[in-house]
Chain A
Amino acid sequence: MRDLTVRHRRVTALRGVTADLPCGRAIAICGPNGAGKSTLLRALLGWHPLASGEIRIGDAHPRHALPRLAYLPQRQAIDWDFPLTVRGVVALGRYPALGLFRRFSATDHTRITEALAELDLTALADRPLRTLSGGQQQRVFLARALAQGADIFLLDEPFSGLDLRATGELVRIIRSWVARGRTVIAVVHDLALVRRHFDYALLLDTDLVSCGPPVDALTDDFIRRAYHLPSESDEALQSLRTVDFPL
């Protein structure tokens, strides 16, 4: 990612962001609301025309790397009453590879079954989507991303609205994916969670404030700068730094 600038009409959402994201790691994108976190994810997907700069995934332009990417939308973007079963949603993950006409092959079915099994959804496979809990719904979408056959996962605020148990579960899933060499790039608000469970952090405030391993990227100075906190009051900083999940 080099000198990346994205503008929505006249508003600049990202300015001159240059960073090198490591493969096979859990990467968190952090920053205040409106800092361009989601914009960065969508830029990686090639949704936003870049005002300047370029993105390379491996050696490829994002458009050519699409099959390697799986995107998880924010939870509120989904109609959870939609008349699909768990297996039905995971099967959607195969559609891009199948195109308009190709039939589901045995390989496709195996991939779906494996994705369901890996996320512990086999028992729920025939349940309608709306009967699931928030954490289970999240897992269904992770399973769909797996069934796609991607190895880079872009998650937009995956932790929002999850309770403690579901949060712990998601952390466990992300860690096990990284252990298998997959890359996870997630928008995360909870900096304590990032410190504890992510390998790499990007702190954004339209400009790139810092990036690197969380110890280096999420120092008090950088956080103050990104969130525009006055240097004399430490209370707000403390609350950003120490809220922690007893996982």
Chain B
Amino acid sequence: MSQPPKEVIKFEVNGRTVEVAVRPYDVLLDVLRNELDLIGTKRGCDQGSCGCCAIHMDGRPVLSCLTLAKWAAGKKITTIEGLANPEPHPLQTAFETCGATQCGFCTPGFIMSAKALLDRNAEPDEATIKEHISGNVCRCTGYLQIVEAVQKASEELLEKDRPHDASVVERNRQTHPAGR
């Protein structure tokens, strides 16, 4: 049986516009890892059950193993590689200092999930954080230090009140119309 033909799609990934040829059944995870060398996004299960492949599509968290690549056409994708800018995001440093990363394989997925939460809820309580990350599997940490890291990052972001990336700049501009 011969393989169906490829189709060229265009999308933005971490601020850069890319064009890739994909087959109809290709999932975004494969395209990110194999075509674009964005290996920070991990493959843990291929069935949306571990969260290791979480990325953002137009600012919303999605599991790239369950997302057909062609759905990315025209969209803005952010992967773990797009978070450090160039200094690491407070979530990234908090994961380090709280001991929220051990083997690290689940870490990119957790950070992308947590970032999606903090982007729309700057001060989530513990229960909200736990609920939000319950689709991500970590077998090393027992989760508590991950929750702690998300809390710490949230505090840091609020405290510094400094825009970190474009979406936060935009949000802050809306919240503080006078600008800063």
B and A form one assembly: no
Q: Which residues of B approach A to under 8 Å, CB–CB?
A: none
Q: Which residues of A approach B to under 8 Å, CB–CB?
A: none
